[in-house]
A and B are shown apart, each in its own frame.
Chain A
Amino acid sequence: NAGVTQTPKFQVLKTGQSMTLQCAQDMNHNSMYWYRQDPGMGLRLIYYSASEGTTDKGEVPNGYNVSRLNKREFSLRLESAAPSQTSVYFCASKSMTTRDEQFFGPGTRLTVL
C-alpha cells in the first residue's frame, strides 16, 4: 500500500495564478483532511471531508476550495494564489472510527511569488 500520496511535491506560483493540489489514499478511509504547516504556527486545518460527498471548513479555509472526487481522492484548489499561501500542505486520512489516528502524506511545498 502506498498510503497517502500527494502531487506535486514542489510548486512555485506567481500571485494570481491558480492550481490544484492532489491527494489520494489507498487505505479505504472515509475521512480526509487538508492542513497547512507554517513555521512557528503548527499544523492548521483548512478543509476536511468526513465522508464521501461531504466537505466542511476548518480553521483557515479562506482562499481555498476542495473537492472530494471519490472515496480515494480529495483535492485542494487555490483559485488566485497569494504570497500568504506560501506554505507546506499536508493531506491526511483516517477510517470511520472517530478515535483512529490520521495518516499523513509527504506534503506539497508551495511558494507563491
Chain B
Amino acid sequence: EDQVTQSPEALRLQEGESSSLNCSYTVSGLRGLFWYRQDPGKGPEFLFTLYSAGEEKEKERLKATLTKKESFLHITAPKPEDSATYLCAVQAGGSQGNLIFGKGTKLSVKP
C-alpha cells in the first residue's frame, strides 16, 4: 500500500536555528515527490517537485532532497514567517496524477 509518513508532527525552532523535516514513503514506482506549504485557513502552496534519488532543489531558506526511501526539507536560519504546516505528497507510477499526502509537520519559528 502506498504510504507517506512525515516527522516530526510539530517542530518549534528559535529564529536562526536550522533543522530538517522528514518525509518517508513507500510507493510503487515513484513518479514524483512534492512539498507544499500550508498557512492556517489557506490552501496548500506548491514548493518543490523531486523526481529521482539524489535530486535537490532550493528556494530561499528551504532545500529539499530525495533518496529512494525518504525526502528531507532542510530549513536554514529560519524566520518567523517560515511558520506553517509543511506537507509532503507522492505520485505513484500508473496514477493519473493522484497524490498521496502525509499528515504534515507544523513548524513554529519564534523570534
Contact = CB atoms under 8 A, between A and B. Distances in A.
Interface of A: 4, 31, 33, 40-45, 48, 50, 56, 58, 90, 92, 94, 98-107
Contact of B44 (A31, A56, A100, A104): A104
Contact of B101 (A42, A56, A106): A42
A105 to B, nearest CB: 5
A105 B42 CA distance: 8
B111 interface: no
Interface string B22-53: 00000000011010100001111110010100
A21 to B, nearest CB: 13
A41 B43 contact: no
A40 B99 CA distance: 17
A99 B46 CA distance: 13
Contacts of A99: 31-32, 49, 51, 91
Nearest to B47: A101
Given A41-B103, A42-B87, A102 B42 contact: no
In the A-B complex, the 8 residue pairs with the closest CB atoms: A104-B43, A43-B101, A42-B103, A50-B96, A101-B46, A42-B101, A104-B44, A99-B32
Contacts of A45: 98-99
Contacts of B34: 101-102
B88 to A, nearest CB: 10
A87 to B, nearest CB: 14
A102 B91 CA distance: 11
B48 to A, nearest CB: 9
Contacts of B42: 106-107
Contacts of B31: 98-99
A107 B87 contact: no
B96 A48 contact: yes
Nearest to B45: A104
B62 to A, nearest CB: 15
B58 to A, nearest CB: 17
14 contacts: A31-B97, A43-B87, A43-B101, A48-B97, A48-B98, A50-B97, A98-B97, A99-B31, A99-B51, A104-B36, A104-B44, A106-B43, A107-B41, A107-B42
